[in-house]
Structure 1
Amino acid sequence: MAQKKKEIVYLRKRARSNGTFALYLDICRNGKRTNEYLKLYLIPEHTREDKLKNKETLKLAEAMRAKRVVEIQSKDFGLDVSTHEDALFLDVMRRLIDRKEGTTKTSWQNCLAHILKYEPNDRITFREITPQWVRGFRDYLDTKAMQWAIDNRKRDVEPKPISQGTKALMFQKLCTVFNIAMREGIIRINPTVGVERFREPESDREFLTIDEIRQLRKTPPPNEDLAQAFFFSCLTGLRWSDIVKLKWSEVQELNSGTRIVFTQKKTGGLEYLDLNTQAASILGKRGKREELVFPRLGPIQSARISIAAWVRSAGIDKHITFHCARHTFAVMMLDLGVDLYTVSKLLGHKSIETTQVYAKILDKNKKAAVERIPNILDDPE
């Protein structure tokens, strides 16, 4: 009986006239050889970035080679290797958006608007989206995407390019859709793998000092309930999304004090937080179990306007939003000497790396403080 010939899939490269190298699969099957070009290219390595880009390209090419091996072997054994790559990409993305709420949903809708600006075909399938398509979307974000593409209400505003942070956020959301498609078995190869991400800029996280909190406390607010919730966040670090849904059933009175046990809106994780006496006093008279602790907050959009006006009235020259109360809590805890790990747990962070951002803020403040010391060693002229 004749021995079956070995099937081998090699990843190879071929030089092109422009100095790049085209990657292709050299398939040896049943004694026959065929080439399948991957539409992936290696570039001359002049810089470290060039080397990193080639490394990611080779990583994607190797994944495509492995997929081809599985397809060939599965076909020989009569296995079903079909996927759902003909599913509509935007259908999956819209289902994901439907599960979001508030500002998170708005951000996802903005990403969808940018994708449609780049790719008007709303019937595009996963099969049609290649690494080249993904790179094209990245280039669109980097060079063409404008803020007016996502906010038709601001027609009188001069259109300007989106920020570096927005570029990183929009591209990450695209990657998230493909990660979900991988988990759901819609696709076998993620076309975003190997495409360079945007480097996120270090953002300044605005916060209030203790003196500024006291100054704000003395200033009459436009909305008393909102002010109480804001101070509660300054004292607990809770997000708006968790405060706005906080019910009395989640507030426990213990011998040692007051504790809230709640499920984080953002992460879905169950958290408990012991309140200090100041935070507990803000809660006021206990209501019924199913009632909200802060029932008259209104929408976040109104809260932004009210807080901005309140901060201006207090004479504080900072761009403060409700979320800045959480930043205030984090910086205040670190400034009071609480260790980074404990602050991370109080904030409900999954990774301590997220909390380290606040430590950097504190380092900047300390540096600025010591630089204010006048010249005390030299005699005045």
Structure 2
Amino acid sequence: MGRPKKSLKVKEPVRIRERQLANGNVSLYLDIYIKGTRKYESLNLYLIPETDAASKKANIRTRQIAEKIKADRIIALQDRGIKHWDKIKRSSISLVDFLKEYEQDGFGFKESTLKGRSDMRKKVEDYLSKEKLDYIGLNEIDADFCRGFLNYLRTAPHSVAKKQEGRTISPGCAHHHQAVLNGALNKAVRDGLIPGNPMKQLDKREKFQPSPEEREFLTIEEVRTLMETPCTNEQVKKAFLLSCFVGLRLGDVRELTWAKVMNTPDGKTQYVHVWMEKTQKPINVPLSNEALRYMEKKEDPDAKLFKLPTSDATINYHIKKWMKAAKIDKKISYHCSRHTFATMMLTLGADLFTTSKLLGHANVTTTQIYGKIIDKKKTEAVNLVDNLFTPKAELNDEDRTEA
């Protein structure tokens, strides 16, 4: 009888290693060795000294996360090979780490845009904590995750209004978080980290929709009133009214110079050519005579057209006082000038497609919200004549009182 054959022990291609740190914690990292090529990957996971039951439980969970990442790497390496290690490592980044990178990408973006990304990331972290998900990779995000996150936003607590217990974020705020997450996932697709945006798999009814009531705007008569009403800062007044006639955002108006004003080939029309700060895309907007009235002539074509306060809050403070002086009882910020431009164009007969191009919208569906606003105002106007010509004898008691 021959000797039993020795079983060959297969060497694992990916191993979890430990490194002792000076503070007493232990750092976990991956040691990858395949076909003569060695790679290392820090997991940003740490074991803490086990001084009580809670610390032991935390370490068990940390090791489970490390094992999950290890398993993901082995599968990815089997599918794609060690030559694609950098892409494998990049596509396996955790969702939270990817969102942190997304919010730190400050190239060409306003501070408010980056803050919106940060606020969204914090809401994602709150959702993960609520679901007891200590770790989830970017490549694991699917339609169910997106659906769960949006459902969480429907009752998510308001982080600012701490004194008002039980207050939740508004639908408008939830819609903004949804839009920012959608933008982050689109970037992940462009970077080749995920094959597609799972948010697109959700039905429209599952998503938050922008509310027309949240887009405050001024009527043509109210714009006329403002033109005749003094403002505590005339530069703010001129810049605001210009935006009412061209639809540019505050960030783009801040950077306006005469060097950005061009003439059409026939020389009959002037237009402003800018790279929009928010979208980093070019836009050409024709300048009406009304718009040109608020564009001061400068000797230096590269000089800024307006000397505006550096703080957006200060600008909106002057606008608020201006509205009060004009007896306009609406919550108007500088951005409402853009809404005013859109609704004014549609009111005066411009079609949705043209208005969309003037606003620089990538999709006409974004502009449709203004169409809904106009339709609602038309309905309200028509309803004003209800019962106006009906004989009082035919009215019921309630209608008669209103008449």
Q: TM-score, normalised by structure 1?
A: 0.69
Shift of 1:232: 0.2
Amino acid paired to 2:101? R
RMSD: 3.4
Q: Distance in 1 between matches of 2:321 and 2:133?
A: 41
Question: Cα distance 1:240–1:257, how it changes in 2: closer, same or farther (>3 A)?
Answer: same
2:234 paired residue number: 224
Partner residue of 1:126? 137
> Which SS does the other structure have where 2:330 is aligned?
coil
Query: In the comparison of the two structures, how many residue pairs are matched?
Result: 307
Separation in structure 1 between the aligned mates of residue 76 and residue 97 of structure 2, nearest angstrom: 28
Partner of 1:248: 258
Structure with greater Cα Rg: 2
For 1:102, the equivalent position in structure 2 comes to: 111
Unmatched tracts of structure 1, length 5 or more: 1-68
Name which of structure 1's ranges 179-188 and 259-268 shifts more when overlaid on structure 2. Answer: 179-188
Task: Label 1:332 to 1:91 Cα distance change in 2 as closer, same or farther (>3 A).
Answer: same
Give the equivalent residue in structure 1 for 2:355.
343
The superposition leaves residues 260-280 of structure 1 with CA deviations (integer Å, 9 ceiling, x where unpaired) of 111122222222222111211
TM-score, normalized by length of structure 2? Answer: 0.65
CA distance in structure 2 between the aligned counterparts of 1:134 and 1:191, rounded to whole angstroms: 7
Comparing 227-236 with 212-221, greater Cα deviation is found at 212-221
Contact 1:307 1:322 in 2 (8 A): yes
Q: Report what 2:43 is aligned to.
A: none
Q: Say if 1:380 and 1:325 are closer, same or farther in 2 by CA, change over 3 A.
A: same
Correspondence 1:116 to 2:117 = no
User: Which ranges of structure 2 fall in alignment gaps of 5 or more residues?
Assistant: 1-74, 394-403
Partners of 1:244 and 1:297 within 8 A in 2: no
Corresponding letter in the other structure for 1:241: G
Matching residue of 1:93: 99
What amino acid sits opposite 2:102 in the alignment?
A: L
Aligned CA distance change for structure 1 residues 128 and 333 (closer, same or farther; 3 Å)? closer
2:177 corresponds to 1:167: no
Q: Do the aligned residues in 1 keep the contact of 2:212 with 2:373 (CA within 8 Å)?
A: no
In 1: Cα distance, 2:309 partner to 2:141 partner: 45
User: 1:161 Cα deviation (Å)?
Assistant: 0.5
Shift of 1:258: 2.7
Deviation at 1:352, TM superposition (A): 2.0
Q: Percent identity?
A: 30
- Residue 229 of structure 1: how far off its partner (Å): 0.5
Question: Does structure 2 conserve the Cα–Cα contact (< 8 Å) formed by 1:248 and 1:287?
Answer: no
1:136 CA displacement = 5.2
Looking at structure 2, the residues matched to 327 and 221 of structure 1 have their Cα atoms a distance apart, in angstroms, of 20
Pairing 1:187-336 to 2, within 5 Å after superposition: 187=194, 197-204=206-213, 205-252=215-262, 255-336=267-348
Structure 1 residues 244 and 133, CA gap change in structure 2 (3 angstroms):
same
| Residues 175/330 of structure 1: CA separation in 2 closer, same or farther (3 Å cut) | closer
> Any idea what the Cα deviations from partners look like across 1:6-65, whole Å, max 9, x if unmatched?
xxxxxxxxxxxxxxxxxxxxxxxxxxxxxxxxxxxxxxxxxxxxxxxxxxxxxxxxxxxx
C-alpha distance in 1 between matches for 2:261 and 2:278: 19
Counterpart code for 2:348: L
Task: Call closer, same or farther: CA 1:361–1:191 in 2, change over 3 Å.
Answer: closer
In 2, the alpha carbon distance for the partners of 1:189 and 1:341 equals 28
